[in-house]
Structure 1
Amino acid sequence: MIKEHDRIVLTVDLPDYQLRAGDVGTVVHIYRTGEAYEVEFFTLDGQTLDVVTVEAAQARPVRSTEVLHARALT
């Protein structure tokens, strides 16, 4: 179960926000017992890129065996 302040991984691209599947964000609010999340996405230097509402099917929890990966915004 995803909770507030957990990191999540996008499972789909969100081109309107320059976000791609695999990008990592932090949950700042949970809607309707987990049907959707308000997620803040950051650049690696800590600047907020955007805060986006993400449906539960568009995100998954971070796994302990994963490593972060950097990419430039286009």
Structure 2
Amino acid sequence: MLHNFDLVALAVTLPEYDLLPGALGTVLEVYTEPRIAYNVEFGASDGGTMPLVVLDPEQVHKLGR
């Protein structure tokens, strides 16, 4: 299970957000009810941020340790 502020990489394409696999993001919130899910903020190529996206565990991979 991921935790707040974990760095993650997207594992799937999210065309509605123009996000491709490998996009880097930070977990901002972990939900456990009604299911495990993660509120992730992704970085934009211009250095800004993208909208927050709620993702299922299989949609992201933790980076680092």
TM over 0.5: yes
The size of the alignment, in residue pairs, is 64
Larger Rg: 1
Runs of 4+ displaced beyond 6 Å: none
> Secondary structure of the residue that 2:61 maps to in structure 1?
strand
**Structure 1 stretch 41-50 or stretch 3-12: which is displaced more?**
41-50
TM-score after normalising by structure 2: 0.84
Match for 1:60: what amino acid? H
Partner of 1:48: 49
Q: Determine the C-alpha separation between the residues in 2 that align with 1:44 and 1:3.
A: 25
Of Structure 1 and Structure 2, the greater strand share is in 2
Q: Determine the C-alpha separation between the residues in 1 that align with 2:55 and 2:47.
A: 20
Fraction of identical pairs, as percent: 36
Q: CA RMSD in A?
A: 1.9
Higher relative contact order (CA 8 A, sep 6+): 2
